[in-house]
Structure 1
Amino acid sequence: MAEEKGAGSQIVPAAAPIMVQSENSSFNIGMVLDEKNYDLWAPLIQIHIAGRKKMGYLRGSIKAPNEDDPKYDDWFSEDQKIKSWLLSSMKPEIMKRYIRLSTSKEIWDSLKTAYFDENDEARIYSLNQKASRLRQNGRPLATYFGELTEIFQELDHFNKVSMECENDIKVFQKSTERQRVYVFLGGLDDGFDQVRGEVLRKDPPLGLQASYAYVRREADRKEAMKTEVDKSEPAAMAAKARGSPYGPNREGSQNRPGQTRTSQPSRDRPQGKCPHCGMPGHSKSRCFELIGYPENWDRTRDPRCNKSRASVAETKNDSDQIADKASAMIAAAGSDGKALSTSTSVMNNTWIIDSGATEHMTCDSRQVPSLKTSTQTEVNVANGNVVPVIGEGTVSLSKTMKLDTVLVVPSLNYNLLSVAQITLALQCLVIFWPYFCVFKDIRTRKTIGYGIRRGKLYYLELTTSSSSLLTQALSVDDSHGDTNKVSDIWMWHRRLGHASFSYLHKLFPSLFVKTDVSQFKCDVCEMAKSHRTSFPPSSNKSIIPFMIVHSDVWGPSKIPTLGGAHWFVTFIDDCTRMTWVILLKSKSEVSSAFQRFHKMVAVQYNRNIQVLRSDNGGEYVNMELRSFLELHGIVHQTTCPYTPQQNGVAERKNRHLLEMVRASLIEAHLPLHYWGEANVRSLSY
């Protein structure tokens, strides 16, 4: 019975493998589809599915049999397996959109429609721009070339060129390859100038991969040379500490007291000449011209150490300073630049004001109370050399002048004060004159420092106090009074369109109790109100409001206002000097503007205009305005030809308005097309 039961029943063994589950568990392309990575996700999916010989389901070449066909279940099972592969490689929010589709081909086609546009010109343009602007910028060569290759491959994915002639295809591919070689070489750092020229001179021309291999060999050679130099630095420091300039027993070297000279074979001495100083017997890494001379070095033996490498003359203690620089470099090398401080006095307090320096730099680490590691490890100097930076810190020149992020560069001879950094950090102005320059606070206009020209350079004037700190560059005059009152004066000066300080003195006498008006100097006013010497004013003035009205038109402005106006006309009462400004889109609107002004005066002030004084412009001398003036009995007085001084009230008012407009726009950093609104606003005060 047991045998019959076993033979008659068909039971699948429990250990039978389920292939679908096994393949699904091993299907992992290493990424999931999101809204931005379809271009990378799709090729990976195709690689994995093609490796399982299932691409016919996605292409549609393996057709679905009829449902009553016995092969339909096998086809449906395989298609659902591929469908599960696709869905499992998507983010959940994307999977929800496609899970209801019946076949894997429908999912694949829908994804291609949603995420891929082979005619995406904006994407192609963006990739070409990115490739042309990509630069190495000190990064490893492999990183730079990898990014560039990725861009080129994506461009090939979009740019599918179809040609019938096989030779045309080869010519096109060679041309494209050559252009990409140019892009690759153009983005390399300046250190590859020589190898760049060698690649371009190759005949036949190298392809992209061959060019990269050629440049990579040069990069590996440079890296190997750099490693050798780095290994030789500790030996150079040790030689300096022993007191020998170029190694043991070099001719002219000095032994410390109590030491005897020992003979060393000639093979221990470096061969050739130093590329820096030109002297034989040592390498550049051991040259005392760079790392400094030892304290017991006999300067009578080698006068080169007494020569000044600076472009200007300055009296200082060479031996002490050079030894200080060398000790700073040794301390930085021994502690990885984490901290470096000293209690000795400041050796070099000469600061050169440099408008071309991007950072503050000092050659003496003892000026920095607490030296820390700098993110910038080297700087380029004017002669093209690259010099190391051992750290950075803060230097206080005075209570009002504090320099942050000062780089310590031992190879320099003088301290460099960056104009770009100090103006941003201290919010100050630097004004250069032929023989001196001054630093002024932007808000208070106080002079916080000055420099003197010596030779062809400007030096910051500083004195050294007994506490070895740099004191204030220029004593600040305390006659400006209370700081809050000074701030209020500047606030009202700007708010009233940069009105004169003498006028503010009359408006707000309480603000000027302890303040001298002559101490206030506004650079914006100097730029906005510069003009030719004015003509003598006239003493004739009407005693009745609106008896005489002065008028003039200004324009055209190259930049229109927000409302499209290019002109404005002014109407000024001779008695009260009250002014009205009307913006115009064309000069022909002057007649209608005056008619509206005339009606406003009659209604609001119950006055009649008796005289209109203007120039002989066509906007005033025309039939329309003449008829209106005759109808209302208004006398029209015009100036003599080429004599605008006779209409001086209106001309001077135009200049005053433009000065206020320019000052307001400069102060507020507004674009010029706001000049109309600024003009109308200026009359509200």
Structure 2
Amino acid sequence: MDDAEKKALALLKEKILKEAAASPSKPPTGAPKPCDYSNHPLYLHHSDQPDAILVPQALMEDNYDEWSGSMSAALTIKNKIGFVNGSSTRPTDQNDEQQQWARCDVLVKTWLTASMSKEISKSVKHCKSARAVWTELKERFGQTNMVQLFNLENAIHTCKQGNDSVTTFYTKLKSLWDERDAVCGLTACNCEDGVKLGEYVENQQTMKFLIGLNDTYDALRSNIVSIDPLPNVNKAYSMALRQEKQVQASNNTKIADAAAFLVHKQGRDTEKAPSRAPDRALARGKRPANAARWCDICSKAQSMA
């Protein structure tokens, strides 16, 4: 290549660079779109299939609070919660993003209807979007069920330890509290009155747990109530569990000692038993020298007729 050709190529390269700098920047063909990134609401993973079941329990007439909580958590993990709470709206400018949004919305709607009973699913099939399905379900089932709340409060009031362990009793009580809070839909507040209300609820839970314990925990119950401030229910449970383990260890020691004593006693009886039997046998067969007549059966002298 001579000097003239080199100079021509240099001028051409310079011209191309100037044109590229002057023209508006455009992504090259095949560049990734925003929805191709996993943290984008419109991103779809290969595992996001229409027949996927996101929650273990289908929506029925009496479990909306539990179902909606589980479904919200599942959609949050999938980064699709915006399609039901309204934070992800349909794009208005780019046609490709509109199509991707529509795909995602239909997918979320399919997930919702697949997690319902057949009767409820049929009743929401007319809804045009996942948001519409979610809103209708909330309006239909989301109101506080006073009958369910009454049953929960009654179950909490009558919950006792009985024959259950401390752990089993606490787990039952904690489940009832959590279900009641879900039905009521109460949220925590950081204001002064909210903090006081939270402390009152915690004290009520601790006292309910202590009241439900068996009478064998009377001493522990008195000790915890005398503590100021009153420990929370988790601390009270830990103290009751520690006492239960101590009692179990003491009972196991007593059982082991009693078993060892019984084995030792049986061994001594076995050692003494053979020494008496031969003596009785020999005494039964021994005949006095001055006995004229002797009975070998009753080991007695017989008188002469």
TM-score under structure 1 length normalisation: 0.31
Per-residue displacement from partner, 1:202-224 (whole Å, max 9, x unpaired)? 22210011111111111222223
- Work out whether 1:210 is the aligned partner of 2:235: yes
The structure 1 residue matched to 2:272, chosen from 250, 256, 261, is 256
Give the 4+ runs in structure 1 shifted more than 6 A.
162-165
CA contact (8 A) 2:91 2:98 kept: yes
Q: Give the match for residue 60 of structure 1.
A: 86
Q: Give the match for residue 137 of structure 1.
A: 162
Deviation at 1:85, TM superposition (A): 1.5
CA contact (8 A) 1:80 1:104 kept: yes
Alignment partners' CA distance in 1, 2:120 and 2:264: 68
Amino acid at match of 2:66: L
The structure 2 residue matched to 1:43, chosen from 69, 72, 78, is 69
Deviation at 1:173, TM superposition (A): 0.5
Given the superposition, is the C-alpha separation of residues 191 and 100 from structure 1 closer, same or farther in structure 2, using an over 3 Å criterion? Answer: same
Deviation at 1:49, TM superposition (A): 0.7
CA contact (8 A) 1:33 1:89 kept: yes
- Work out whether 1:114 is the aligned partner of 2:130: no
Select between 196-205 and 40-49 the one with higher mean Cα deviation.
196-205
Alignment partners' CA distance in 2, 1:226 and 1:60: 60
Per-residue displacement from partner, 1:490-539 (whole Å, max 9, x unpaired)? xxxxxxxxxxxxxxxxxxxxxxxxxxxxxxxxxxxxxxxxxxxxxxxxxx
Aligned ranges 1:521-670 → 2 under 5 Å: none
Alignment partners' CA distance in 2, 1:160 and 1:29: 20
Deviation at 1:63, TM superposition (A): 1.6
Q: Which is helix-richer, 1 or 2? A: 2
Per-residue displacement from partner, 1:301-328 (whole Å, max 9, x unpaired)? xxxxxxxxxxxxxxxxxxxxxxxxxxxx
Identity over aligned pairs, percent: 21
- Work out whether 1:93 is the aligned partner of 2:109: no
Per-residue displacement from partner, 1:536-567 (whole Å, max 9, x unpaired)? xxxxxxxxxxxxxxxxxxxxxxxxxxxxxxxx
CA contact (8 A) 1:29 1:44 kept: yes
Deviation at 1:169, TM superposition (A): 0.8
CA contact (8 A) 1:20 1:81 kept: no
Q: Give the match for residue 221 of structure 1.
A: 246
- Stretches of structure 1 that go unaligned for 5 or more consecutive residues are 1-17, 245-253, 260-685
CA contact (8 A) 2:54 2:71 kept: no
Alignment partners' CA distance in 2, 1:94 and 1:67: 35
- State the Cα RMSD in Å: 2.9
- Work out whether 1:73 is the aligned partner of 2:69: no
- Work out whether 1:123 is the aligned partner of 2:139: no
Report how many residues are paired. Answer: 233
Aligned ranges 1:225-374 → 2 under 5 Å: 225-243=250-268, 256-258=272-274
- Work out whether 1:82 is the aligned partner of 2:102: no
Amino acid at match of 1:88: A
Alignment partners' CA distance in 2, 1:213 and 1:116: 36
Given the superposition, is the C-alpha separation of residues 160 and 169 from structure 1 closer, same or farther in structure 2, using an over 3 Å criterion? Answer: farther
Deviation at 1:58, TM superposition (A): 0.8
Deviation at 1:46, TM superposition (A): 0.9
CA contact (8 A) 2:52 2:111 kept: no
Amino acid at match of 1:22: S
Q: Give the match for residue 23 of structure 1.
A: 48
Q: Secondary structure at the match of 2:70?
A: helix
Higher relative contact order (CA 8 A, sep 6+): 2
Q: Give the match for residue 205 of structure 2.
A: 180
Alignment partners' CA distance in 2, 1:211 and 1:134: 17
Deviation at 1:174, TM superposition (A): 0.5
Given the superposition, is the C-alpha separation of residues 137 and 98 from structure 1 closer, same or farther in structure 2, using an over 3 Å criterion? Answer: same
CA contact (8 A) 1:83 1:103 kept: yes
Q: Give the match for residue 168 of structure 1.
A: 193
Deviation at 1:229, TM superposition (A): 3.4
Deviation at 1:232, TM superposition (A): 4.0
TM-score under structure 2 length normalisation: 0.67
